[in-house]
Each structure stands twice: as C-alpha cells, then as structure tokens.
Amino acid sequence: MHYINFLHNTSGMFMFIQEVHEKPSLLSINPGLIIWTIIIFVILLFLLKKIAWGPLIKALNNREDSIKSAIENAEKQNNEARTLLEENKKQLAESTNEARKIIDSSRNAGNKLRDEILAKANEDTRKMVEQAKREIEQKEQSALENLKEEISDLAIKAAEKIISESLDENRQKKIIDDFLNKISKN
C-alpha cells in the first residue's frame, strides 16, 4: 500500500515538473508519463494479485463449492422425498385395497350370518307351527274322544232310561230332544 502511494506521489511530481517546462495539451504524448503509468499499473496488478485476487478467488471458489454442495443436497433430498412419496402412495394404495378386502369380507360374513339366522328362524318357526298343528290335532283328537265317550255315555243313559220307563211317543221325543240339547251344549 505504501508503494502505491509513493508511486502515485512520484508520478504526480514528474507531471508537475514537466508542466513547469512546457505546457502540454490534452492530446500530446508524454513518454515519461506513459512509462510511469505502465509501471504503476503493473505494480498495482501484481499487488492486487498477491493481496486481493487470491482471497477473492478463494472466497468465490468456496462460495461456488458451498452452492454446489447445497444444490447437490437439495437434489438428494428432493429425490429422497420423491422416493418417500412414491412409497407412501404405494402403502396407501395397499392399505386401501386391504381395507376394501376387509370390508368386503365383513360384508360377506355378515350376509352369510344373516342368511343363516334367517334360515334358522324360518326353520324354528316351521317347527313351532308343526308342533302347534300337532298339539291342535292331538287336542282335537282328545276332544273328539272325550265327545265320543260323553255321547256314548249319554246314549247309554238315554237307552237305559228308555228301557227302564215305559215310553210313549211324547216321552220318547222329549228324551231325544233333551239328549240332542245336551250334545249341542257340549
């Protein structure tokens, strides 16, 4: 840095000295000024290369490497996210299919159970109706037998009465009417 200031101040002195001797125009060529300008420019380039360009290039390279690394990480994470998304979609589809299978299986089992319960209920109803019919028939048979017994008892009693009494025609009709009234009451 000191060199640059020194060179700058020195070149300014030489320009001042030249200005005292002659009055240069803006388009005039001054070989001393050109040489000093080139020397100062080369020295400035050398110093910039040593002092500034190295750290700047290093910082830019580091920044470029960190950006590349960040891009690679982002691409890697993006690929991982896509993979996970595809796996999740597959698992969701499998879960949905399994749920449908379970629902269908449960529905079929429920329908089968309902059909079995209806069939059993129908069978039980049929058996109960048949049992009731048999009981009715048995009671009818029992009632008919009781009726027959009563009729035969009444007939026997009526016959005993008829035989035991001397019957006239009116008396015979009355006994038969009484007999018929007793039968119709029972």
pTM score:
0.39
| 154 neighbors 179 (Cβ within 8 angstroms) | yes
178 vs 108 pLDDT, higher one: 108
pLDDT in tens, 78-126: 999 999 999 999 999 999 999 999 999 999 999 999 999 999 999 999 9
131 HSE (CA, 13 A, CB side) = 6
Structure tokens at 101: 């299978």
Q: What is the pLDDT of residue 162?
A: 66
